[in-house]
Structure 1
Amino acid sequence: MGSRKHTLSLVAGLLIGSLSMATPMPAAAVDWLKPKTDDDLLPADEAIQVQAAVWQNGELSVGLEAAKGVYVYRDKLSLEALQPASARLGKLKLPDGEPHHDDHFGDVRVLRGSVLARAAVANAPQQVRVRYQGCAENRVCYPPQTRILTVEKLN
């Protein structure tokens, strides 16, 4: 079986080599032969940057910035107060976002550009956990991300 595989591989290589020498092909025509790379794909923490967590006048705000061509799933964005454990966040307030059909999640709403997530909380928590997930448009989806932020208290 191994020699058959080797023979088929050799024949395919010779055929491709002879075709490329016999007929000049534009570079774009042989692109499918090259392995695909995502050299310009941003790492998850650069594609979606989490800004500071700020508490002011009974409201916690966390900003996110999605790079151009990147979106955040609205329903995958959440905030959770960590310290003190008694801090309870109210309902999360997010922009409406825009409708989007996703091959994996179906019809969803996505957020692009600058996003401000807000929640009412009587006393400033010391830390907050931010969870989110997003995708680079028509390329890849990043795995779910979690960040723990120290809350800045303004007043």
Structure 2
Amino acid sequence: MKRSVCAAGIVAAAYPAAQPEPIEFDIKDPLAEPPAFLPVDQAFVFSSRRRVADGDVDELVARWQMPPGYYLYRHGFHAHAGEGLTIGQPAIPRGEMRTDDFFGESEVYLGNVEIVVPVVKRTAQTVTVRFGYQGCSEQGLCYPPAERTATFHFAGASARLGGFSGPLLAGVVLLVVVTGFVLAMRSRRDVR
């Protein structure tokens, strides 16, 4: 028996064509390192700021920066105003159309994106806005929807306090002062 097993081994070695070809499967190496995904705050770096546009109209700007291989969905953006603030519809720039495995045909943003939110009315000097977003990695990870809260500080009775903007507020104050002065002068004249 030992001789036949040994002879079979010699014959197989002598005739490589007789050996079966290895079968190739289209699967990833189970021992290979899985792709490393960034935490959501590093994949989508959020920042915010307040800016004055068109003279006295306050706008709140939310910005996300993404490293290569990460993108945000347009449909994932939203903004919710906190106490003492009314905001308008966010202005979202045009993105790039892409078909992905999670949401099909979608508008996405690569690199960086800014959305601009107009301040309609403000009754507090410190206000907050919750900005929502959702994105994915091109390596196959889709992050759950996330939110970041931004705090904005307004000095004094600045633009949009109680619905009156800067020059309009100054005009209203001046009108009240002049009206009070005129009424005081009339009542003083009537007393004489």
Identity among equivalent pairs (%): 29
Aligned partner of 2:140 in structure 1 is 139
Counterpart CA distance in 2 for 1:106 and 1:31 is 24
Cα RMSD after superposing both structures: 2.6
Is there any run of 5+ residues in structure 1 with no aligned partner, and where?
A: 1-29
The secondary structure found in structure 2 opposite 1:68 is coil
* CA positional deviation for 1:109: 0.1
Q: Is 2:131–2:149's contact at 8 Å kept on the other side of the alignment?
A: yes
Among residues 88, 108, 115, which one is paired with 2:86 in the alignment? 88
The secondary structure found in structure 2 opposite 1:88 is strand
Aligned partner of 2:29 in structure 1 is 32
Aligned partner of 1:9 in structure 2 is none
Counterpart CA distance in 1 for 2:28 and 2:112 is 36
Matches within 5 A, 1:1-155: 32-34=29-31, 36-39=33-36, 41-56=37-52, 57-84=57-84, 87-123=85-121, 126-153=127-154
1:76-112 per-residue CA deviation (whole Å, 9 max, x = no partner) reads 111111132xx22211111100001122212110011
Query: As a proportion of its length, which structure holds more strand?
Result: 1
The secondary structure found in structure 2 opposite 1:141 is coil
The secondary structure found in structure 1 opposite 2:72 is strand
- TM-score between the two structures when normalised by the length of structure 2: 0.57
Counterpart CA distance in 2 for 1:91 and 1:115 is 17
Higher alpha-carbon Rg: 2
Q: Taking CA–CA contacts closer than 8 Å with sequence separation of 6 or more, which of the two structures ends up with the larger relative contact order?
A: 1
* Stretch moving more, 126-135 or 95-104: 95-104
Is there any run of 5+ residues in structure 2 with no aligned partner, and where?
A: 1-26, 159-192
